Amino acid sequence: MRRVLIVIAALVGAAAYGQEAPVAPPPDAQIAPAPVSRIPGTVYVASDETVDSSNAKDKAKHLDFGVSLRAALIKKEVPVKVVTDPAKAELLIKSSSSHREDTTGTKIAKIAFFGGGGFGHFEGSIEVIDNESSAVVFAYNVKKGDYQSAAEAFAKHFKNDYLAKKKP
């Protein structure tokens, strides 16, 4: 019985010795990233809060211009699909914006001399970036009375000036 145990132990030891331990990659080796599957015709709109550029504290509304851009892309029937995962999007839309509301004195003067008018000033800068190459493929700067008009103006120009000309 003792000889059998010694033979079994020798066989197990020889089998274990014959197997090589897995080799760890060197610390400076670069591992290729897993391929990302981007969906053609998709955009991700990065959210950015609008800056209040008026003199009074908290006078202008703080809003997320990214939500307005998403809504405008859908409303203007821009032929892209808006996704919530930036890794799956073909294009990335980034924006920065500011809103300034007129002072009370300016509002009174506009009403008295011009019969009313727009009391807010909205400015936005929007860029469309190709996720694969990181190249800016379309940029747009807009000045309107409110954020909705600005977002819709971008959607219209993105559709007519970039996407319509991109198609073969």
Query: CA–CA distance from 95 to each of 30, 53, 75, 142 (Å)?
Result: 34, 16, 19, 11
Q: Share the mean pLDDT of the chain.
A: 77
| Residue 74, C-beta contacts closer than 8 angstroms, at least 6 positions apart | 82
Return the pLDDT at 33. Answer: 60
For the chain, the domains span 22-166
- C-alpha 5/C-alpha 46 separation (Å) is 68
3-state secondary structure of 99: strand
Q: What is the pLDDT of residues 8-60, one digit of tens each?
A: 666 555 555 555 656 666 666 666 665 567 778 899 998 776 666 555 555 54
Determine the residue type at 67.
V
Return the pLDDT at 144. Answer: 86
Are 39 and 83 contacting, i.e. CB atoms less than 8 angstroms apart?
yes
Instruction: Let me know how long the chain is.
Output: 168
Q: Name residue 141's beta-bridge partners.
A: 125
**CATH topology (fold) of 22-166:** Double Stranded RNA Binding Domain (3.30.160)
Q: What is the pLDDT of residues 88-98, one digit of tens each?
A: 999 999 998 88
Listed range (52-61, 76-85, 96-105, 116-125) with the worst mean pLDDT = 52-61
Determine the residue type at 168.
P
